[in-house]
Amino acid sequence: MSLLSIARDLQRRKARERSGRFVAEGVRTVEELLRSALVIDGILVAERVVAQPRVAALRTAADARGVTVLPVTEKEFETAAGTEAPQGVLAVASCPVWSLDALPATPLRLLVLDALQDPGNVGTILRTAAAFDVSATIALPGTVDLWNAKVVRSAMGSHFVHPTITCSADALASFLRDRGIPLWGADAAGTPVPEVVVPSQWALVVGNEGAGLSPATQPLVAMTVALPIASAVESLNVAVATGILLFALR
């Protein structure tokens, strides 16, 4: 199968899960991918952008790693791109393999995503988690695929260095119990985060944009924490709230 056909196929979640590969789209994202240690199958470049300075530099970096760069027509590129106004550069690469069991024995700080649906929110959250030294981000059932092209693009390279793991609520509960890690839930009715004593290791779960924490996750939560915000404001965007909470817990 050609690189173009593979990129088209990877628009589907089942294809990504079956092959263990993903698409990184956009000049910045592909630049970050080339700086990472991930295995890259190849890069597609639309003919209209081949001569652009950043794209030329990107091709030089790809050559240095022995990564194939394939020029394609604009029409061909659009069939593989996931954006309405594509930048003309995308790469196909292998997803890194991370698991709960492979996490180090040192004190962990974990972020858990409970059925978050918006790719932009999830990508932003992953980037924030990486910035605040979170050990890993764990996605529970119902969460958008962490290797969705929009999530990868919004995370701007964080996928390539920050461990991301998908598992069930039962598997998470077992892991946290074995490691002695308390699970805190983000909830507007919780204890204001400035008032809590932060332990050496913790896990924070944030819930769905509209429904909050799921029924499967709620029984696992030892305590809920909240941001003290003005009474005139009902809530914050989940990515914004998660970022502030991670900063406070750090």
Two structure tokens written together for 117? 């649906």
What is the predicted pLDDT for the residue at 83? 84
Residue (of 33, 27, 64, 60) closest to 46 by Cα position: 27
CA 224 remoteness from chain centre? 24
Give pLDDT tens digits along the chain (250 positions): 799 999 999 999 999 999 999 999 999 999 999 999 999 999 999 999 999 999 999 999 999 999 999 999 999 999 999 888 889 999 999 999 999 999 999 999 999 999 999 999 999 999 999 999 999 999 999 999 999 999 999 999 999 999 999 999 999 999 999 999 999 999 999 999 999 999 999 999 999 988 899 999 999 999 999 999 998 998 899 999 999 999 999 8
Domains of the chain: 3-94 (3.30.1330.30), 109-249 (3.40.1280.10)
What is the predicted pLDDT for the residue at 82? 85
CB of 113 within 8 A of CB of 144?
A: no
CB of 183 within 8 A of CB of 114?
A: no
Task: Report the chain's terminal Cα–Cα distance, integer Å.
Answer: 46
Predicted model pTM: 0.94
CB of 58 within 8 A of CB of 28?
A: no
